[in-house]
């Protein structure tokens, strides 16, 4: 959160979106799937006016979130059926 606050204080939306994308991946690793997906969406929205390199970075980080959430859901379903 400190990094995100610093990015906002500095008026750097590109850094803020990058940090938010990293936070989304961290949320997924902590099994907070909805938080991770919401943070990935916020990162993408924040990067709307960013240079293409920032878009690519956010897209790469956000693509790590989707498969993780799907995999976790599959594991949960398998555990319930077992």
What size, in residues, is the chain?
Answer: 82
- Give tens-digit pLDDT for 12-71: 888 888 888 888 888 888 888 888 888 888 888 888 888 888 878 787 777 777 666 666
Neighbours of 46 (CB within 10 A): 21
- CA–chain centroid gap for 76, Å, is 21
pLDDT bucket at 73, cuts 50 / 70 / 90: low
Collect all residues with Cβ–Cβ distance below 8 Å to 72 and sequence separation of at least 6.
28, 31, 33
Output the pTM of the full model: 0.69
């Amino acid at each position: 959160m400190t990094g995100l606050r610093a990015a906002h204080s500095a008026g750097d939306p590109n850094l803020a979106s990058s940090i938010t994308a990293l936070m989304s991946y961290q949320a997924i690793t902590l099994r907070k799937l909805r938080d991770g997906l919401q943070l990935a969406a916020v990162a993408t929205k924040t990067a709307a006016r960013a240079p293409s390199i920032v878009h690519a970075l956010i897209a790469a980080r956000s693509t790590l979130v989707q498969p993780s959430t799907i995999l976790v859901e599959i594991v949960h379903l398998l555990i319930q059926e077992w």
